[in-house]
Amino acid sequence: MVGMVRRVAIIPARGGSKRIPKKNIMEFKGKPMIAWTISAARDSKMYERIIVSTDDEEIAEVSKKYGAEIPFLREEHVDDHSTVSQAVAWTLKRMKEIDNIAYDNVTSLMPNCPMRDSAGIIDSLKNFESKDLTFQISCFEYGWMNPWWAFKISPKGDPEAIFKDVKNVRSQDLDKLYCPTGAIWIAKAEALEKSEDFYGEGFELFPISWKDAVDIDNYEDLEIARALYEQKDRN
């Protein structure tokens, strides 16, 4: 007999980051990077369990210190080609094997999104559950970087507009465009286990602030996040 728990948060945090070595546990404004995500999940008070899914002993130890569970080290989907969806789905299946517990829904919280807070998590879960969705992906509205005006540059240096039919359209007359962010992804656990993809059939986007959506993949992203944090701290 498999028991049922309503919500679980899974923080996928593999150890092999290339662009910023040890990114998930590097210092960010007085705490390891991953600690900000663990704290946001705990402060939301929305989860029965908060799990860090990692293959790295050092990440595991830091995560335990800040209040997350590490029931096992992840043995699969730890390479550069595996997706976050695959890592979270594998973790769910492994937890079910170990604990004989299934979950109603699962939230994936990327550890490199330190600006996302508990309020954003609560709002996202409320939207997901009130609409009885199966998959929900966090996103933010494009601002000063307007992708409607995007170009490709050929190897010869020739520019080619991506959206050729809007070059004479005023920006205020163009539709809003949104960019996915790994800050808060939510799915019905059983559906994710089967599809291994948060972008599953019928997925919906849920807009959050672009500041909360900052996803640190390189040193430029890190500088943006630090500047935003300092601004927030002054306010």
Task: Give residue 16's pLDDT band: very low, low, confident or very high (50, 70, 90).
Answer: confident
**Whether residue 156 is found in the same domain as residue 81:** no
**Whether residue 19 is found in the same domain as residue 95:** yes
| pLDDT tens-digit readout, 103-150 | 999 999 999 999 999 999 999 999 999 999 999 999 999 988 889 999
**Whether residue 165 is found in the same domain as residue 200:** no
**Which one, of 16, 14, 182, lies nearest residue 90 by Cα?**
14
**Whether residue 91 is found in the same domain as residue 151:** no
Regarding beta strands 151-153 and 159-161, do their DSSP bridges make them parallel or antiparallel, or are they unpaired?
Answer: antiparallel
Per-residue pLDDT for 228 more than 50?
A: yes
For residue 234, the model assigns a pLDDT of 60
**Whether residue 100 is found in the same domain as residue 126:** yes
**Whether residue 215 is found in the same domain as residue 183:** yes
| pLDDT tens-digit readout, 35-91 | 999 999 999 999 999 999 999 999 999 999 999 999 999 988 877 778 999 999 999
Cβ(119)–Cβ(187) below 8 Å: no
Query: Which tokens is 52 given?
Result: 């860090």
Domain limits for position 166: 143-176
**Whether residue 119 is found in the same domain as residue 160:** no
| pLDDT tens-digit readout, 157-175 | 999 999 999 988 888 889 9
CATH number of domain containing 80: 3.90.550.10
**Whether residue 117 is found in the same domain as residue 216:** yes
Task: Give residue 102's pLDDT band: very low, low, confident or very high (50, 70, 90).
Answer: confident
Number of structural domains found in the chain: 2
**Whether residue 211 is found in the same domain as residue 154:** no
**Whether residue 46 is found in the same domain as residue 155:** no
For residue 233, the model assigns a pLDDT of 64
The DSSP secondary-structure symbol of 180 reads: E
19-31 burial: b if 16+ Cβ within 10 Å, else e? ebeebbbeebeee
**Whether residue 230 is found in the same domain as residue 157:** no
**Residue where a domain stops, chosen among 160, 176, 192:** 176
**Whether residue 218 is found in the same domain as residue 164:** no
Per-residue pLDDT for 182 more than 90?
A: yes
Tell me what the mean pLDDT of segment 147-157 comes to. 94
Would the pTM count as exceeding 0.85? yes
Per-residue pLDDT for 1 more than 50?
A: no
